[in-house]
Structure 1
Amino acid sequence: MGERRVIEDRIRELRAEVGVELPRVRVTGDDPVLPSVFRVGTAAAVAVGAATAAAAAFARGVVLPESAAEGAREAPVRVPEGAREAPMGVPEGGGESREAPVGAPEGEVDVRAAAVAFRDERYFRIGGAAEDPWAPLSGDYRTADGWVRLHCNFDHHRDAALAVLGLPAGSGREDVVRACAGLTAVGIEEAVTAAGGCAAAMRSRAEWFRHPHASAVAAAPLVDLARIGGSGDECSGGASVPDSGVYALERAHAPDRERPLDGVRVLDLTRVVAGPVATRALAAYGAQVLRVGAAHLPEVPGLVVGTAFGKRSCHLDLRTPEGRDALRDLVAEADVFVQSYRPGALDALGFGHRELAAVRPGIVCVDISAYGTRGPWAGRRGFDSLVQMACGIAHEGGDGSRPCPLPAQVLDHATGYLAAFGAMAALLRRSAEGGSWRVRLSLARTALWLDGLGRVDGAGTPEPEAADLLGEMDSAFGRLTYVRPPGSVGGVPPRWSSPPPRPGEHPPAWW
């Protein structure tokens, strides 16, 4: 019972952090549920529970104050019978958020279901066959003074690592083992990063907290939500952001909608895990999600399929004027823009958050990065497994003798669900207050949050049962086995209405 109270309290903290009122979330199950000293099940239940609570708020409907409705671009919406007739947004006085009254749609999250969803890559099957997401050279290597992890899933990252190690193309794992053994971990990390690759030296928790970037990470909110052009928007210059008025989200809150986010339009410019998990979660609650990729961008084959449930997929080459024009046309009718490019990359193409808000006043921009946008590592490339190494998680899991990662891509999945929560919270704020909004998250900040949840005696925890949490669906790739999306709103679980599309299968247009 104590662990459930912790989960409920942490969800309340998230509500207060983003300034929204949300219905109550009932928690079932307990941690530990996965073999780890970290509270992985708790983290999963909190992240999923927060997103579930936000979806439940949408199920209640959003109402505008009469004064605000006069200036809205769209007509106010009707409130479902039994819902409280008051706007959702910042609580009165700007203080702590309050729970919705009894009778409003309630969310529910089960700790085991949330934890299993956090490792859905392990259960995903195409035609009964498992997909290995790791390239042959990706992994942990002993160095002269410790350990380093190389991320080689993308060919250009692999080539950068081999070049730094003085190895020719086509070198095998044993070649990399020998090369790393004579070098320092931090030396490899810095050289590979400078060459455009991805690597991380294993640090202890204490070593990370002494690192200059750790203080920059700690200074950021877990879910950093700010109004674009407001006091929380640090950017200056660039495009002018007009006052967007108050949006009633008429599409999303039509009386005959079937799911909480029906009508919400989401542009998905993300890859690998965290961003695609965020947009997949939004799709599970009914959002129209259009993933924008490109034929020249590398993908991890199994992940690009497993994270695409409920979405459509188009290809645009943003290096060309035509591709950028087509994306602007999509932005003009979007509600949410989710991206996980390196910080600054889309700004250079004319798609920074202020430019997006100028094209589509009222847009919600969700930015996901590895190490955040402030500090000496701002903009550094990274992935879940690398952040675990850098931030002390892998060190503690293996008692310092060798790296031992978490039993799931917890940083990716938690950041993904927290990003979905942040997007919905921003939409709720937009509905009540108007404006365009920006949400920022990083894997490193999520790692600090996980660390702050404390420890549990879970190292010997057996693998959880998962058969009852799996679903099957036919697709263009074959019969798919997958983990069903966790949580429920008013007793109704989220669902994906379509199988993963082939990459680039659809035109760049809303439907």
Structure 2
Amino acid sequence: MKASVDTRVWTTLTGDALAEDAVEITGPESVLPGTFRVEEAATTSIAAATLAAGELLRLRGIEPGKVSVDTRHAAASFHSEHYVRVDGEPVPFSAPLSGDYRANDGWVRLHCNYPRHVSAVCWGLGVPATRAAFEKVVAAKSKYEVESAVVGAGGAAAVLRTRDEWLAHKQGQASSALPVADIRPLGTSEPVRLFESDRPLGGVRILDLTHVIAGPVAGRVLAAHGATVMHIGSAQLPTVPPLAVDTGMGKLSAYVDLETEAGRSRLRKLIARADVVLQGFRPGSLTAKGFSPEAIAELRPGIVIADLSAYGWEGPWARRRGFDSLVQMASGIADEGGKAAGLDGPGPLPVQALDHATGWLTAAAIMTAVRRAATEGGSQHVRTSLAGTGEWLNSLGRKEAGPAGFDGGEWLEDVDGQLGRVTRVKMAGTLPGSNPQWTEATHVPGSDRPVW
């Protein structure tokens, strides 16, 4: 069967139908293991972002040319953190306590990639931070008891649910109604003026207040299309080194401590001269610091604000911490994957598809919103979620189980930068009018000044 894209995504983003010949898809339909159509999700989300960049080129009077995506390149791009190397060596990271644990009535996943999440599990379950202690206490409890205790302590966990169980849950019902992206006007203002450039996002300043994969991938895509992207982190917050190297391509990296008034004042100054704020804080966290979408729009009329969350902006879990693996567990994806593979337990997707697809879709929505701000005026509010992406992936149907392995080596390149010689996956998506590219490799975290 020929590889394809889901044209519904473009219609959701723009309100327009996608012409039949708008995108050329090359490569086989099935590249990755499993029966979920991860390849179609990858090619569609990459195509959407590339098409959105093309429309910005068209707005600048430049013919974008025909967009093309290769399914093999898309698959490698959706597993980019797996391929990243510095001076030929993998970037070390260990999270030995993260994983799937068997309770007395099923399975629950504990997310322990960060010290604060480990502490929450220890506090919520009353155990020391060892794998053996976690396994023992979880085995003696019900899966829902474990989930409730860990989440209640401020941690991140999810029970392995079937699809039917998820749809019977109030959050599942709320998430099932989510679009892949929501773009709405936020206040009125004169149309913004784009600086002259031969790149889709040339002259556009983007504040990237995200972490892990989905949000940073969105910023990485925008940087490849010409934006000046400044990632804002903090020396007080932990990072996952392979992800920081992989998703920092093309970005500035600065530290701002938002727990201090001086840091918040600095962020307000950055926002006042920015065109886009992309944020992936736990829902409500940035608002509590004085940076609600409305407050940001007041600081900079005509700005685009993009909010990325795990479970979406509706339902009882709208403020819950979540990650790709947890959304797969909760929504029935991991249950179906495990059963299809003959496992006694969860079977995740072959790549972090919810993260990567959400990142590319968020980038597509942001570029669409930038175009609206330039043509119609007004600040624009973009919302995306891992759960919404998961619902979309589920709607694509299933394929024959794909091959057991995938190399992806032909899509790699080496670049020199502050960290050394970095091996990375080349930017996916062909745009003849202005092919996407990163102008430099990942910066040392916090090495840039937080000024435009």
> Residue 131 of structure 1: which of 65, 79, 91 is its match?
91
Between 1:469-478 and 1:445-454, the stretch displaced more is 469-478
Name 2:112's counterpart in structure 1. Answer: 152
Cα offset for 1:215? 1.3
What SS does the aligned partner of 1:351 have? coil
- Give a deviation string over 1:410-432, Cα, whole Å, max 9, x none: 00000000000000010111122
Cα distance in 2 for residues equivalent to 1:166 and 1:247: 54
- Which structure 2 segments of 5+ residues have no match? none
Between 1:468-477 and 1:444-453, the stretch displaced more is 468-477
Contact 1:128–1:481, Cα closer than 8 Å, also in 2: yes
Name 2:57's counterpart in structure 1. Answer: 59
> Residue 131 of structure 2: which of 154, 173, 194 is its match?
173
> Residue 280 of structure 1: which of 202, 210, 220 is its match?
220
Name 2:11's counterpart in structure 1. Answer: 16
Contact 2:57–2:200, Cα closer than 8 Å, also in 1: yes
> Residue 107 of structure 1: which of 53, 67, 73 is its match?
67
Count of equivalent residues: 446
Cα distance in 2 for residues equivalent to 1:44 and 1:134: 27
Contact 2:125–2:149, Cα closer than 8 Å, also in 1: no
> Residue 507 of structure 1: which of 429, 436, 449 is its match?
449
Q: Identity over the aligned pairs, expressed in percent?
A: 46
What SS does the aligned partner of 1:365 have? strand
- Which structure 1 segments of 5+ residues have no match? 63-78, 84-103, 230-242
Cα distance in 2 for residues equivalent to 1:178 and 1:477: 41
Cα distance in 2 for residues equivalent to 1:133 and 1:384: 18
Cα distance in 2 for residues equivalent to 1:268 and 1:301: 17
Cα offset for 1:276? 0.2
Cα offset for 1:221? 1.8
Matches within 5 A, 1:150-299: 150-168=110-128, 171-229=129-187, 243-249=188-194, 251=195, 254=196, 257-299=197-239
Name 1:68's counterpart in structure 2. Answer: none
Cα distance in 2 for residues equivalent to 1:467 and 1:258: 31
Cα offset for 1:164? 2.2
Contact 2:3–2:71, Cα closer than 8 Å, also in 1: no
Q: Does 2:116 align with 1:116? A: no
Name 1:474's counterpart in structure 2. Answer: 416
What SS does the aligned partner of 2:399 have? coil
What SS does the aligned partner of 1:318 have? coil
Cα distance in 2 for residues equivalent to 1:202 and 1:386: 9
Contact 1:133–1:303, Cα closer than 8 Å, also in 2: no
Cα distance in 1 for residues equivalent to 2:184 and 2:444: 35
- Give a deviation string over 1:72-121, Cα, whole Å, max 9, x none: xxxxxxx23xx5xxxxxxxxxxxxxxxxxxxx522111111111100111
Contact 1:485–1:493, Cα closer than 8 Å, also in 2: no
Matches within 5 A, 1:476-491: 476-490=418-432
Q: TM-score, normalised by structure 2?
A: 0.95
Name 1:29's counterpart in structure 2. Answer: 27
Cα distance in 1 for residues equivalent to 2:115 and 2:293: 30
Cα offset for 1:401? 2.3
Cα distance in 1 for residues equivalent to 2:109 and 2:169: 18
Amino acid at match of 1:17: T
Amino acid at match of 1:3: A
Cα offset for 1:477? 2.2
Cα distance in 2 for residues equivalent to 1:133 and 1:496: 25
Q: Does 2:2 align with 1:42? A: no
- What is the root-mean-square deviation in Å for CA atoms of aligned residues? 1.6
Name 1:447's counterpart in structure 2. Answer: 390
Contact 1:57–1:105, Cα closer than 8 Å, also in 2: no
Amino acid at match of 2:388: R
Could you list the structure 1 runs, at least 4 aligned residues long, displaced by more than 4 angstroms after superposition.
20-23
Amino acid at match of 1:228: L
- CA shift in 2, pair 1:339/1:111, >3 Å: same
- In our comparison, the structure showing a higher alpha carbon Rg is 1
